Amino acid sequence: MFRTFALSIALCATLPFSAQAFERISDRAMFVNTVDGRDLRIALYALTLNVRADGTIVGRAAGWGITGLWVWEDGYFCRDMDWSGTEIDYNCQLVEVSGNRIRFTTDQGAGNDAVLRIR
């Protein structure tokens, strides 16, 4: 239970406001160009994700492994993940980028968001 709560907090954390606006990523090619081969990180939660062009997700959060699969569907990043045995339900998310930050907003942009650094 604590692990699920901790990952939920990590995936909904936001970074301080910046004057640079976020721009929507609306197609798969642009998304892959932005994330493939890079780490997506929230250092405070020891969260690192690699979202790969082949449709896989691997990473770690709070010391536990993360795996998952993703597809690009109707302009949204849709994924399901497993955090060391805890399922993270399928969800389609709005994706936006600003410099070296990427923001994922759940429920096709209507839910919580998480801002990660691109490294």
pLDDT at 7: 54
Output the pLDDT for position 46.
Answer: 93
Question: DSSP strand E in the chain: where?
Answer: 23-24, 40-42, 47-51, 56-61, 64-73, 76-83, 86-98, 101-105, 113-118
What is the count of structural domains for the chain?
A: 1
Q: Are 100 and 117 in contact (CB under 8 A)?
A: yes
CATH number at residue 48: 2.40.128
Structural domain including 60 reads 2-118
- The answer, yes or no, to whether residue 14 has pLDDT greater than 90, is no
Which amino acid type is present at position 41? R
Give the pTM. 0.83
What digits encode the pLDDT tens for the residues 46-102?
A: 999 999 999 999 999 999 999 999 999 999 999 999 999 999 999 999 999 999 999
Q: Which helix (H) or strand (E) holds 30?
A: helix 28-35
Q: Which pLDDT band, with edges at 50, 70 and 90, does 19 fall under?
A: low
